[in-house]
Structure 1
Amino acid sequence: MLLGMGPDGHVASLFPGHPLVDDDQQWVTFIKDSPKPPPERITFTFPVINSSANIALVVAGAGKADALHIALGNGQSSDLLPVQMVSPEGETTWFLDKRAASKL
């Protein structure tokens, strides 16, 4: 599966602090109050994301450096970011550009 990470550490349309992050019953669901446009979306949930054999996770841009720093265990956050909940059956391979990786 190919995923990207947002500047707040979200993947798919699973945003930090949103109840959908904890949905373990549905494989695909909808969100009506997305914190970034568009407000209405459909998304995979973690049961389907984490059933993937392997995941390629793409992170690009300086605006994602802080979340990436937290996600890879070097930064501080009181809550788990959604990207930290990605756990496929196989491997996760991270693809970073220099600006996203600038705080590692």
Structure 2
Amino acid sequence: MLLLGTGKLSRLQRVTAHRLLAVDSPAVHLPKLSRALVKLGKEIAHLPEARLALLDEAVAAARAMDPTDPYRPQVLAEALDARREQLHAMGRTADGPAGGQ
């Protein structure tokens, strides 16, 4: 309902909406979800583990996009870059389930 309203959604509300809507319309909402997660992650930079979890989800959403989607490489690169930056800030390497390409 909020998406149809005239009020502005918070980043958390956008993430929640795209999570729900991606189930029925993944082509439309997975890239929006990934980008919204990256933006939300910037807001919680003071919580590195939580930010990393959001960025892991952003990478997963980007990877779940249709491989033929022309925007997939860009969305995936944005999510992976943000994740790599966070891992670097935490003194960690790009290992684990979202690491690599």
Write 1 or 2 for the structure with the bigger share of strand.
1
Higher RCO (CA 8 Å, separation ≥ 6 residues):
1
TM over 0.5: no
Write 1 or 2 for the structure with the bigger share of helix.
2
